[in-house]
Amino acid sequence: MSTDDSDDSTADGTGDSTDDSTDDRAPEAEPGAEAPTGRSRLLGALKKPGSRGQLTVAALLAVVGFAAVVQVQSNEQGDEYAGARQEDLIQLLDGLGTASQRTENEIAQLEQTRSSLRSSTDSRRAALEQARQQAEVLGILAGTLPALGPGVRVTVDDPTAAVGIDQLLNGLEELRDAGAEAIEINDSVRVVAQTSLSDGDNGVVIDGQQLSPPYTIDAIGDSHTLAQALDFTGGFIDEIEQVGGTVVVDEVNNIEVATTREPVQPEYAEPSETE
């Protein structure tokens, strides 16, 4: 009986230990089969699909490799002059200094040219403005431009037809002497230095135009001064009244002299050269 029990227990124990050790060990190669080499193991590993962690590591390695290549190329470019001789570096610095000085000189010349052009433009603009103003003044005095400003309106009535060029010429001269800048008669004749007057059958002829009374003389200037120039003893108003006419002088804030004359080319006079 004891022998049977020990056999059973031995058989059971032996069977259990044999099964456990067999599960833990790697399967042995079949008899006659070759053992796997390192190359075959590597190929097998490469054929297996990679995990997410392996892909991440591969991407990081690629980025690190690219950065290393860029750094190496940058160092190679930065070390371009590392092996240059001292004389070469000095010559290079001298060349750069010369180029910099040349550039600064060109900039200074361009700035000077700009200033000169700006000054020349300002001077030309000022000269043109002065010439324009002078042309306007001369145009008003010569009667080639219309004029507008304060002044007087003189109305001469001549019921007896006794007023002639003697009285009118004296009145025009008195207005000129008082500073009249533009004079017009009957809204049709601009009175200038070359204006001619003559007696007509029924009035006067001024610059070839027949004018009949009443005569209206518009003069631009200081209105009070012009009015006073006509009203003094023995003056224009007295002369008109002595021949039976009447004179009314109105000071006006805004008189328009619209009649103009064509410029006349001098026949004998010419500009005199001044030194």
Looking at every residue in the chain, the average pLDDT score rounds to 78
pLDDT band for position 11 (cuts 50, 70, 90): very low
- Alpha-carbon span 257 to 255, nearest angstrom: 7
pLDDT tens profile 152-172: 999 999 998 899 999 999 999
User: pLDDT value at position 9?
Assistant: 41
pLDDT tens profile 210-259: 999 999 999 999 999 999 999 888 889 999 999 999 999 999 999 999 99
Domain ranges of the chain: 96-142, 147-257
Alpha carbon distances (Å) from 82 to 5, 53, 73: 93, 43, 15
pLDDT tens profile 108-146: 888 888 887 888 778 888 888 888 888 888 889 889 999
Strand bridging mode 209-211 / 203-206: antiparallel
Q: Report, as an integer, the average pLDDT of 89-117.
A: 81
User: What are the residues whose beta carbons fall under 8 Å from the beta carbon of 209, sequence distance 6 or more?
Assistant: 188, 189
Alpha carbon distances (Å) from 18 to 23, 27, 148: 9, 14, 136
pLDDT greater than 60 at residue 39: yes
CATH number for the segment(s) 147-257:
3.30.70.1880
Q: Which amino acid, residue 266?
A: P
Q: Comparing C-alpha atoms, which of 185, 178, 164 is closest to residue 242?
A: 164
